[in-house]
Chains A and B, each alone.
Chain A
Amino acid sequence: MALKLAPEHFEAIRTHGARDYPNECCGMLLGRAEGAKKIAVEIVALNNLRHDPKRAQEVLPLDEPGLESERNRFLIDPLDQLKAEKDARARGLGVLGYYHSHPDHPARPSIYDREHAWPWYSYVIVNVQAGKPGEMTSWVLSEDRSRFDPEEMESSGR
Chain B
Amino acid sequence: MTVKVIIPTPLRPYTANKDAVELEARTVAEALSNLTAQHQDLRKHLYADDGRLRSFVNVYVNDEDIRFLEKDQTPVGDSDVISIVPSIAGGCPLRCICS
Interface residues of A, CB < 8 Å — how many? Answer: 42
Cβ of A72 to closest chain B Cβ, rounded Å: 4
Main secondary structure of the interface of A (DSSP, over half): mixed
Residues in chain A near residue B16, CB distance under 8 A:
none
Contact with A along B63-91 (1 / 0, CB 8 A): 10101000000000000000101111111
Using A75-B89, A82-B63 as known contacts, say yes or no to A121 and B9 having CB atoms under 8 A apart.
yes
Main secondary structure of the interface of B (DSSP, over half): mixed
Q: How many A-B residue pairs have CB under 8 A?
A: 103
Tell me, in angstroms, the Cα distance from A119 to B86 when the chains sit together.
11
Q: Which of A6-14, A101-109, A130-138 contacts B (4 or more CB under 8 A)?
A: A101-109
Q: Are B63 and A98 in contact (CB under 8 A)?
A: no
Q: Assign chain B's interface to a size class.
A: 20 to 34
Tell me, in angstroms, the Cα distance from A59 to B86 when the chains sit together.
11
- Asked whether B27 is an interface residue with its Cβ less than 8 Å from the other chain, the reply is no
Which of B10, B56, B91 has most A Cβ within 10 Å?
B91
Mark B residues whose CB is within 8 Å of A: 8-11, 13, 55-56, 58, 60, 63, 65, 67, 83, 85-94, 96-98
